[in-house]
Amino acid sequence: MQPDEIEALFTRSDATYLCARWGRPQAPVVFGVDDATLSVVKGAFEAVAQLAGVEIAETDPELGANIMVFFFEDWSELTETPNMDRLVPDLGPLVARLEAQEANQYRFFRFDPDGGIKAAFVFIRMDAHLRDVPAETLALSQAVQTILLWSDTAFLGQSPLARTEDGATLLKPEIAQVIRAAYDPILPVAATDASHALRLSARIGALQ
């Protein structure tokens, strides 16, 4: 990918640049699915973490679980879940906004003092569209979108995934390269200057 293409992946809708990676092992937990789907979701997160070189742990010493993935049918279920308002800031207005937008997914992150990702919360409303998406595809998409803090517009026009001729779903090679480069120890855990995209491009070249 060219530097300007990489820069676009981390330039937000307000024109600010922000790229952050995990600064600690991931400890995922999944709610609202059966055992078969649970193994698929956890498998996807483990595969993407392995690509990035991020350790998967049973628990986070500070938070217990630091990736929480929720599957449900209606946004109103969030306001009915005990203590959810402790996890999600301004839960009521957020749910109202997501309902008005007819959104089917939402993610938000918390950060350590150095800017690295501390926790990620993923909410997936299984509407008619997502019910037609294979569990493997949905899980891989969410794992990719939580391994880095991408722009809020990064994947609006294009998916980070691709489908092979035999129907398998894979991470696009160019996105995999960006993930690997972003986790190179020579780069900072978080960056707010667009020149970081040039450094990512250089690391991609060095890692090939």
* 11-45 residue pLDDT tens: 999 999 999 999 999 999 999 999 999 999 999 99
180-203 CB burial, b ≥16 within 10 A, e <16: bbbbbeebbbbbeebebbebbbeb
Cα(66)–Cα(76) distance, rounded to whole angstroms?
A: 23
Contact by Cβ (8 Å): 203, 184: yes
Cα(151)–Cα(13) distance, rounded to whole angstroms?
A: 8
Whether the per-residue pLDDT at 8 is higher than 80: the answer is yes
Whether the per-residue pLDDT at 208 is higher than 80: the answer is no
* pLDDT one-digit tens code per residue, 113-159: 999 999 999 999 999 999 999 999 999 999 999 999 999 999 998 89
SS3 77: helix
Backbone angles phi, psi at 87, to 5 degrees: -85, -40
204: enclosing H helix or E strand: helix 195-207
Q: Which residue has the tokens 């595969």?
A: 47
Give the model's pLDDT for residue 166. Answer: 84
Give the model's pLDDT for residue 61. Answer: 92
Q: Residue 83's closest CA among 74, 94, 91?
A: 91
SS3 189: coil
Identify the residue with better confidence: 184 or 89: 184
Whether the per-residue pLDDT at 200 is higher than 90: the answer is yes
Contact by Cβ (8 Å): 190, 113: no
Provide the sign of the torsion angle of the four alpha carbons 18, 19, 23, 29, taken in this order.
positive
SS3 158: coil
Question: How many residues comprise the chain?
Answer: 208
Cα(149)–Cα(188) distance, rounded to whole angstroms?
A: 13
Give the model's pLDDT for residue 155. Answer: 94
Identify the residue with better confidence: 165 or 105: 105
The pTM of this model reads 0.94
Average pLDDT over residues 85-109: 93
Cα(106)–Cα(119) distance, rounded to whole angstroms?
A: 14
Percent of the chain with pLDDT over 90: 89
